[in-house]
Structure 1
């Protein structure tokens, strides 16, 4: 078989456990990876997992790209392109999965010869920690392609700054693509003349210190300069306070914090989705057993006071019934909460390992772009980074709340009982199921 192929991606046909290609727009990374996999799959039977961090449907996967390449390579006689799989006549199989919050499905994927992680910039530490040991067949390979943005992104740190032993890492740009269209070439040159800093990231594939429109850009830079992303030990003498952002279809996010005078030590971060509240109570219990955490206050947003249809109990009550001291975060506008977060950021020390996914959310939390003006608006963008950032905002608002004397979990002065009486005529559902 004789086909056109970018010379700089020829390393894909050489054996290596890790094959990483990164760079700016127009380098033909996805095109080259897909073409190489189809060629290799036609030559011998392979089981190929095509993964992305977020994939809610097959339309968000590399399926369409591979189907197009099947036609362009003239391999329609070899491959049967089905709705959710692509099958080769020799037994080759392409399967497609999302990584984030799909742990059970990823772990159960056996016998993978090659895993291609496409658009890998936003893959979290948790996802990599699950995926890498899953691809364990002798001779198996992990292929990674992405456009970098932040040097502190987990994928960039793990595979470019500190690549695994024996990894093949290649930076590729539009100049390396012999089939790069003239119209895009002019776009790249125009941006280079107009905004050379933006060109370096968009087309040059070089990292920024912070994202454009990043809400906590100044705070992230200051914390980096002060080395406040580090190792933060747990001190048993102090309680661990826990701050939640709630979701089910969306993510539930949790920060674990200790207070030392005017200093906040951010010990850990956890997020997940698709689970009932018991899962998160079990997580608190597991961390108590694994790390010795002694809990202080559990801070919940206002929707934790909404009665659940399935149980007739609120998340607040379920948490109190589990033996925890619960406080509700005071109501404050999103803008006010962001200001509060900016105020406390300079007093925070983050465990860079145990908070890695939360820090990735804070670094990627940014403002929306106004479609009319193409300028950043005053509204935060709601995406995968929002939940960790919202939980951090609740931490900032809650931590500024004056401390009241501890109230009993149960009994005649039960806070929940009082609030339930106050709300008895106006309780609404929250979307959670017990």
Structure 2
């Protein structure tokens, strides 16, 4: 088969456990990876997993890209493009999955020969920790392609800055793309002449210190310079307090924090979606058993007092009934909460490993773009980073709240919750931040 192919991506046809291509815009990474997989799948039976961090439907996957390449390569007689998968006449199979919050499905994927993680920049530490050991067939390979943004991104750190042994890592740009259109070539050159720094990040594939429109730009840079992202020990003498952003169809995020001296220590972070409250209570129990966390207060957003359709009790009441001391975060505007978080940041120390996914969200939390002016608006962009950032904002607002009687009204016959609350009041010396 004679096909045009980027010379820099020729390594895709050579054996290696990890094959990584990164760079700037227009490098033909997706086209090249898709084309290489289809060619190899036509040569021998392969089971290929095409994965992205976020994939809510097949339309958000690489399915359409493969279908397009099948036509361009003249392989439509060999491949059967079905609604959710692609099958080859020799038994080759392409399947498509999202990684984030899809642990069970990813872990159950057996017999994968090649896993291609596309648009891999935002893949979280948790997702990589699940995916890599899942791709365990003899001689299996993991292919990774992405445009660079932040040097602190988990994917960049794991596969470019500190690549695994034997990994093939290639930086590729628009100059290496044989299919690069002339109109975009001129745009790249114009930007290079007008703004060389912007050119290096957009087209040249160089990392940025911070994202455009990032909300905590100065705070993150200051914390980096001060070395406040690193190993942060858990103090077994101090209470661990948690700060929540709630969701079910959407994500629930939890920060775990301690006050030690004048420092706020962020020692853990957890996020998931699609689960009822009991799942997160089990997480608290597991952290207590595994890491010895002794809990103080659990701060919930105001919507924790809303009635649940499937329960007679609110989330707040359910947590009291489970034996947890609950507080409700004061309801402030988003702007006021962001200001509180900015003021707090200088006193925060983050465990870089345990809080990796939360930190990735804080670095990617940014303002939305006004569709009329194309300038950054005053409102944060609602995307995958929002929930962890919201939980951190609630953390900042909550710790400034003076202790008060902030307990919920019980359901009519909720004797257990009242009894547990009375026991805590009798036995506790106080769990406020000033204690």
Taking structure 1 as the reference length, what is the TM-score of the superposition? 0.94
Structure 1 residue runs of 4+, over 4 Å off? 405-410, 412-415
Partner of 2:276: 276
Shift of the 9–414 alpha-carbon distance from structure 1 to 2, 3 Å rule, reads same
Equivalent residue number for residue 385 of structure 1: 385
The answer to whether the 8 Å contact 2:124/2:357 transfers is: yes
Q: List gaps (5 residues or longer) in structure 2.
A: 409-415, 423-435
Q: Counterpart in 2 of 1:82?
A: 82
**Structure 1 Cα separation of the partners of residues 261 and 315 of structure 2:** 30
Q: Equivalents in 1 of 2:167, 2:417: separation in Å?
A: 57
Residue of structure 1 in register with 2:115 after alignment = 115
- Which moved further from structure 2: 243-252 or 192-201? 192-201
**3-state SS of 1:70 partner:** helix
SS in structure 1 of the partner of residue 253 of structure 2: strand
Q: Which residue of 1 aligns with 2:214?
A: 214
Matches of 2:418 and 2:404, distance apart in 1 = 18
Instruction: Name the counterpart of 2:17.
Output: 17
The CA deviation at 1:137 is 0.0
2-structure distance, mates of 1:351, 1:133: 24
Give 1:426's aligned residue.
none
Q: Is 2:370 aligned against 1:370?
A: yes
What is the alpha-carbon distance in structure 2 between the residues aligned to residue 260 and residue 283 of structure 1? 23
Q: In 2 relative to 1, CA 219–114 (structure 1 residues): closer, same or farther, beyond 3 Å?
A: same
SS in 1 for 2:396: helix
Counterpart Cα distance in 2 of 1:235 and 1:180: 55
**Are 2:192 and 1:226 equivalent residues in the alignment?**
no
Question: For residues 206-355 of structure 1, what are the structure 2 equivalents within 5 Å?
Answer: 206-355=206-355
Q: How many residues are paired up?
A: 415
Q: Distance in 1 between matches of 2:145 and 2:420?
A: 58
Return the offset for 1:54: 0.2
Which whole-Å deviations, capped at 9, do the CAs of 1:284-314 have from their partners, x for residues lacking one? 0110001000000000000000111211100
Secondary structure (helix, strand or coil) at the match of 1:8 reads helix
> 1:60 maps to which residue?
60
Contact persistence 2:327–2:406 (CA under 8 A) = no
Q: 1:72 to 1:413 in 2, by over 3 A?
A: closer
Stretch moving more, 113-122 or 70-79: 70-79
Partner of 2:165: 165
SS in 1 for 2:104: helix
Aligned-partner SS, 2:34: helix
Q: Describe the superposition over 1:361-388 as per-residue Cα deviations: whole angstroms up to 9, x where unpaired.
A: 0000000001111100000000000000
The CA distance in 1 between the partners of 2:417 and 2:106, in whole Å, is 42
How big is the alpha-carbon RMSD for the aligned residues of Structure 1 and Structure 2?
1.5
CA contact (8 A) 1:53 1:99 kept: yes
Residue by residue over 1:309-346, the C-alpha shift from the partner in whole angstroms, topping out at 9 and shown as x without a partner, is 21110000000001111000011100000000001001
d(CA) in 1 for partners of 2:407, 2:315: 18
**Residue correspondence of structure 1 range 166-205 to structure 2 within 5 A:** 166-205=166-205
Alpha-carbon distance in 1 for matches of 2:305, 2:364? 30
Instruction: Output one character per residue of 1:214-257: Cα deviation in whole Å (capped at 9) or x when no partner.
Output: 00000000000001000011011000000000001110000000
Aligned to 2:51: 51
Q: TM-score, normalised by structure 2?
A: 0.94
| Partner-residue secondary structure (3-state), 1:313 | coil
- Find the counterpart in structure 2 of residue 425 from structure 1: none
In 1, are the aligned partners of 2:21 and 2:170 still within 8 Å (CA)? Answer: yes
Deviates more, 1:162-171 or 1:174-183: 174-183
